[in-house]
Amino acid sequence: MSYPTKRRPDRELTFSDTELRDLAVAWTVLSVAFALLLAPVHLGEASLGYFVTRVGLSFVTVGVGFLLHELAHKVVAVEFGQVAEFRADYQMLFLAIMGGLVGFLFAAPGAVYHRGRTTQRENGLIALAGPVTNLLLAVLFAPLLMFAATPGFLPGMLATIGQMGIWINLFLAAFNMIPFGPLDGKSVFEWHKGVFAIVFVPSVLLAAFVVFGLF
């Protein structure tokens, strides 16, 4: 049975100091963890300068992908009258750093928690917002690959940003659409199996193609 949702009149998007802190910490830690994975300076396989560069690139690609994913959940939840805030999982952030050090990264930095009465459809749309945002970001990063054939430091940097942006956002979309546990895919699957298939199947195929076939 569906229940009417009590909506906030203004639907104002606000951020507490705690939420802003958690977003900043999660953004930073994830960026460093991915840089450790891609440029293992601790193993002597990358110079300090190259590692710092990778941290910066991760801020722009991994960090933005994570940040906008979580903000998409919050925006849609607030639109449906929910009280929604992101909370970092500091244990998982520690594991992300450890994973980056050993070469296997499982990134689950936290989640947007929302409260209030919602229908199954609304809950599914809140969950769907994050992965769909990552798919759109992958499309937005794609034009930067045109610089891959252009010599020079700046074109090379832009092409790398495009490459990383596509890879991480397709990975985030596919991973979060897995219909298991607290992942977004479970809520989408429970709401509408057709919508789930439309988003999940292309996300997995594109992520597999990019990871194993293109880059």
Q: What is the DSSP string of 185-215?
A: HHHHHHH-HHHHHHHHHHHHHHHHHIIIII-
pLDDT for res 214: 55
pLDDT for res 198: 96
Q: Is the Cβ–Cβ distance between 70 and 130 less than 8 Å?
A: yes
Q: Is the Cβ–Cβ distance between 109 and 86 less than 8 Å?
A: no
Q: Is the Cβ–Cβ distance between 27 and 56 less than 8 Å?
A: no
Q: How many CB atoms within 10 Å of residue 68?
A: 19
- Among candidate residues 70, 79, 85, 122, the one labeled active-site is 70
Whole-model pTM: value is 0.87
pLDDT for res 215: 53
Stretches in the chain below the pLDDT threshold 70: 1-11, 213-215
SS3 state of residue 26: helix
pLDDT for res 69: 96
Please confirm, yes or no, whether 70 is among the known catalytic residues: yes
- Residues 6 or more apart whose CB falls under 8 angstroms from that of 126 comprise 73, 76, 77, 80, 82, 114, 118, 187
pLDDT for res 45: 80
pLDDT for res 32: 93
